[in-house]
C-alpha cells in the first residue's frame, strides 16, 4: 500500500512541471499575440493621425505586410489577427479566431496596405504628378 502511495505521489509531481510548462507556453503565445495586436492598432491609428516616428512607421509596414487587424463588430475592443501568409503566421491563443483561418463573418477589418518606401515609392509618386504644358 505504501509503495502504491509513493508511485501515485511521484506521478502527480511529474505532471506538475508539464502543466506549468504548458501554461508558460500559453502565456508566451498570449503575450506575443497581444503585442502584435497593440502594434497593429497603433499603426492603423497612425494612418489617420500621424503620431508615430519614422522608425515606428517602418515597423508598421512589415506588420501590414504580414497581418490584417480585425475586430468583432459587437465588441469594439475585441481585436484579433488574420495572417496574410500561412508561412509567416503567429500562434493564436485559446479563445481567439485562428490567425491562419478565415476572418469571422461580420467582423470589421482594418486592412491597411504597407506604405511604400524607397526609390520605387518615390518614382511612383513622381509618375502620379500631372504636368500641364503651355501651348
> What confidence tens digit (pLDDT) does each residue in 91-135 have?
999 999 999 999 999 999 988 877 765 444 444 445 555 566 676
Confirm whether 60 is domain-assigned: yes
Confirm whether 15 is domain-assigned: yes
Tell me which of 1 and 57 has the higher pLDDT. 57
Confirm whether 118 is domain-assigned: yes
Instruction: State pLDDT tens for residues 45-68.
Output: 888 888 888 888 888 988 999 999
Fill in the DSSP letter of residue 77: T
Instruction: State pLDDT tens for residues 67-93.
Output: 999 998 887 678 999 999 988 899 999
Confirm whether 133 is domain-assigned: no
Which range of residues forms the domain containing residue 33? 2-128
With a cut of 80, say whether residue 13 has pLDDT above it: no
Confirm whether 134 is domain-assigned: no
* C-alpha torsion sign, points 127, 132, 134, 135: positive
Confirm whether 72 is domain-assigned: yes
**Of all helices (H) and strands (E), which one includes residue 71?**
strand 67-71
Domain count, the chain: 1
The confidence score (pLDDT) of residue 52 equals 87
Confirm whether 53 is domain-assigned: yes
Enter the C-alpha cell of residue 128: 502620379
Confirm whether 69 is domain-assigned: yes
* Percentage above 90 pLDDT, the chain: 36
Amino acid at each position: 500500500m505504501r509503495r502504491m502511495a509513493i508511485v501515485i505521489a511521484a506521478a502527480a509531481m511529474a505532471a506538475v512541471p508539464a502543466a506549468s510548462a504548458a501554461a508558460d507556453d500559453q502565456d508566451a503565445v498570449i503575450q506575443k499575440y497581444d503585442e502584435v495586436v497593440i502594434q497593429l492598432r497603433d499603426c492603423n491609428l497612425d494612418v489617420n493621425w500621424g503620431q508615430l516616428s519614422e522608425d515606428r512607421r517602418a515597423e508598421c509596414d512589415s506588420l501590414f505586410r504580414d497581418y490584417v487587424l480585425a475586430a468583432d463588430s459587437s465588441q469594439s475592443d475585441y481585436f484579433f489577427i488574420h495572417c496574410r501568409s500561412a508561412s509567416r503566421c503567429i500562434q493564436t491563443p485559446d479563445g481567439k479566431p485562428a490567425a491562419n483561418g478565415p476572418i469571422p463573418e461580420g467582423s470589421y477589418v482594418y486592412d491597411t496596405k504597407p506604405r511604400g518606401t524607397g526609390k520605387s515609392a518615390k518614382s511612383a509618386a513622381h509618375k502620379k504628378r500631372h504636368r500641364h504644358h503651355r501651348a
